[in-house]
């Protein structure tokens, strides 16, 4: 009695490994680009806003999602966007 074994061929294993490698590379690229996008979308000046110390001037609203750096003296700034 002879046994006929069935298994996965080496070609299928190699193709699966290459596909997995491509998937990992694409996911790393996508994750890196999404980080750049989130930092750019949170920038107050780039979104047409203005960073001010204290209250927003008339005709502008405070927007807390966008970020503003502290002044050289260390005072916190608020992002103000036109209405």
- Condensed to tens digits (0 to 9), the pLDDT of residues 10-55 reads 888 999 999 999 999 999 888 877 766 666 666 787 778 888 888 8
Query: Distance (Å, rounded) from C-alpha 13 to C-alpha 24?
Result: 17
72 part of a folded domain: yes
Reported as a single tens digit per residue, the pLDDT across 59-80 is: 887 877 667 878 888 888 888 8
C-alpha 1, offset from chain centre: 61
- Whether 34 maps to a domain, the answer reads yes
Domain of 39, in residue numbers: 10-82
**Parallel, antiparallel, or unpaired: how do β-strands 50-52 and 60-62 relate?**
unpaired
Residue 1 is assigned to a structural domain of this protein:
no
CB 68 within 8 A of CB 79: yes
When divided into structural domains, the chain yields a total of 1
Position 3 scores a pLDDT of 62
Q: What is the pLDDT of residue 42?
A: 67
């Amino acid at each position: 009695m002879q046994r006929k074994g069935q298994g996965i061929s080496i070609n299928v294993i190699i193709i699966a490994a290459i596909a997995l490698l491509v998937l990992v590379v694409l996911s790393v690229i996508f994750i890196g680009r999404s980080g750049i996008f989130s930092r750019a979308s949170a920038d107050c000046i780039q979104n047409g806003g203005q960073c001010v110390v204290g209250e927003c001037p008339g005709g502008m609203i405070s927007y807390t999602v966008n970020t503003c750096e502290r002044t050289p003296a260390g005072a916190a700034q608020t992002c103000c966007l036109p209405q």
